[in-house]
């Protein structure tokens, strides 16, 4: 078990009707920028609930933050924050709106080039405080310090993190998920599942508490993921999926253990190249990582097979084959496609992605930094 320190100050306000509590969470003396995406919040009544809760506040709005938030859009918002002296940001929407808002918060008062934060040249020293109303359980962004920003003209998608952009609070009202399209429900379950897997499926390091938390969360997704996709009105299911997605990436389940973020690193490049939804890239890549890294991850693969999928019979290598298959089958049963060719992608993706990862310093990756250029190519070659 590794040494660790843990601090997470995000206040979670969970439950139906909790948007009304915004008035006790958002500072009244600050000018607030309400950020949102392409308009889902205006169609499903969330916008009205937010405006009602904040009546009497000084609010300006910035809408149009894209799925996979675009660098240039966020720079425009930051410019407005500067001019308008915005003192608090309220992100209302999915992970893209919240990630975008975190980036706005960090760059608004930065004199240098905003890209510095994405290529690691600089780290923010100040940020505008922010909070969120999360309407799409998936990313865990509501309780972490991460943001991922895209720059389409350069085919770039890069992560950034700073404790300064941890939300002060996150409202999780399962009712807001009722209007999610089926594709986003599928995405939410898969993104959550893979976040857990990347913190769990590493070296067996004796972090039993984290392992058990991960296995419990995975079982919730296996048992209730399909119901979440098929029954949007079941608030018990939605509430549990929502909380699972927060728990999957708020830092708790990785404590004392190693993490392997290679699936996400490869997936982000696939989104940058082909515009695939984030979670879909993970459904494509993870089975390949499990297959190619099966020797290094053997002990955890066997544990995962046993505890999450009840696979206990047969020789070890057979059990591993079975559980890799089960995992991909689970993604497909939810409704996801898991092969590049199913998206009409037939070019030499393995080489293109490995080249890109090499050029921006993402290699080697994996929990032991032993996944190199050739391994990334091998993984994607299996996923054509």
Binding site for Zn ion (CB under 5 A): 191
- The H or E element containing residue 146 is strand 146-151
Residues 330, 222: contact at Cβ < 8 Å?
yes
95 binds, among ligand NZQ, Zn ion, none (CB under 5 to 8 A by kind): ligand NZQ
Which of 124, 131, 140, 225: binder of ligand NZQ (CB under 6 A)? 140
Q: Which of 34, 35, 70, 95 binds ligand NZQ (CB under 6 A)?
A: 95
**Nearer CB in complex with ligand NZQ: 23/152:** 152
Considering the complex, state which of residue 267 and residue 287 has its C-beta at the smaller distance from ligand NZQ: 267
141 binds, among Zn ion, ligand NZQ, none (CB under 5 to 8 A by kind): ligand NZQ
CA–CA gap between residue 143 and residue 132 (Å, rounded): 10
The full DSSP string for 297-356 is: THHHHHHHHHHHH----S-HHHHHHHHHHHHHHHHHHHT---SGGGGT--S-HHHHHHHH
Q: Pairing state of beta strands 146-151 and 156-161?
A: antiparallel
Is residue 379 within 8 A of residue 289, CB to CB? The reply is yes
Q: Which does 327 bind (CB under 5 to 8 A by kind): ligand NZQ, Zn ion, none?
A: none
Our CB check for ligand NZQ shows the closer of 94 and 124 to be 94
Separation of alpha carbons 102 and 110, rounded Å: 13
Peptide bond into 259 cis (omega under 30): no
Nearer CB in complex with ligand NZQ: 94/350: 94
Site string for ligand NZQ, 34-53 (x = CB under 6 A): ---xxxxx--x---------
Give the residue with the Cβ less far from ligand NZQ, 96 or 210: 96
Give dist(CA 134, CA 171) in Å, integer: 6
What are the DSSP calls for 180-201, one per residue? --HHHHHHHHHHHHHHHHHHHS
Residue of minimal CB distance from Zn ion?
191
Strand 156-161 with 169-172, pairing: unpaired
146 binds, among Zn ion, ligand NZQ, none (CB under 5 to 8 A by kind): ligand NZQ
* Positions 98 through 127 that interact with ligand NZQ (CB under 6 A): 99
Q: Which of 180, 186, 269, 357 binds ligand NZQ (CB under 6 A)?
A: 180
- Min. distance of Cβ 192 from Zn ion in angstroms? 8
* Binding footprint of ligand NZQ on the chain (CB under 6 A): 37-41, 44, 67-68, 93-97, 99, 135-136, 138-141, 144, 146-148, 176-177, 179-180, 184, 187, 191, 249, 264, 278
């Amino acid at each position: 078990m590794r040494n660790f320190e843990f601090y997470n100050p995000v206040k979670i306000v969970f439950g139906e009707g909790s948007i009304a509590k915004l008035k006790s969470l958002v500072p009244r003396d600050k000018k607030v920028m309400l950020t949102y995406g392409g308009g889902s919040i205006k169609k499903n009544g969330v916008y009205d609930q937010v405006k009602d809760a904040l009546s009497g506040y000084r609010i300006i709005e910035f809408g149009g933050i894209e799925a996979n938030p675009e660098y240039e859009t966020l720079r425009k918002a930051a410019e407005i924050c500067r001019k308008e002296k915005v003192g608090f940001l309220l992100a209302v929407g999915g992970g893209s709106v919240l990630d975008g808002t975190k980036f706005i918060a960090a760059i608004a008062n930065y004199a240098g080039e905003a890209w510095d934060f994405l290529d690691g040249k600089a780290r923010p020293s100040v940020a505008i405080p922010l909070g969120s109303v999360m309407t799409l359980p998936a990313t865990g962004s509501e309780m972490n310090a991460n943001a991922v920003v895209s720059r389409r003209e350069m085919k770039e998608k890069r992560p950034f993190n700073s404790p300064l952009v941890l939300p002060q609070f996150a409202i999780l009202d399962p009712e807001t998920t009722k209007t999610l399209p089926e594709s986003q429900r599928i995405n939410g379950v898969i993104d959550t599942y893979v976040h857990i897997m990347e913190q769990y499926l590493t070296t067996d390091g004796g972090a039993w508490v984290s392992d058990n938390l991960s296995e419990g969360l995975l079982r919730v997704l296996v048992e209730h993921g399909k119901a979440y996709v098929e029954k949007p009105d079941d608030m018990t299911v939605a509430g549990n999926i929502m909380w699972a997605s927060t728990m999957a990436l708020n830092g708790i389940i990785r404590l004392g253990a190693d993490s392997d973020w290679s699936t996400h690193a490869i997936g982000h490049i696939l989104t940058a190249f082909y515009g695939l939804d984030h979670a879909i890239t993970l459904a494509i890549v993870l089975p390949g990582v499990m297959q190619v890294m099966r020797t290094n991850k053997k002990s955890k693969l066997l544990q995962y097979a046993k505890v999450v999928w009840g696979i206990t019979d047969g020789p070890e290598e057979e059990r591993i084959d079975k559980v890799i298959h089960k995992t991909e089958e689970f993604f497909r049963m939810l409704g996801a496609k898991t092969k590049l060719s199913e998206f009409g992608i037939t070019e030499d993706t393995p080489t293109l992605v490995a080249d890109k990862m090499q050029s921006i310093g993402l290699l080697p990756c994996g929990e032991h930094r032993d996944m190199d250029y050739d391994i990334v190519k091998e993984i994607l070659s299996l996923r054509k």
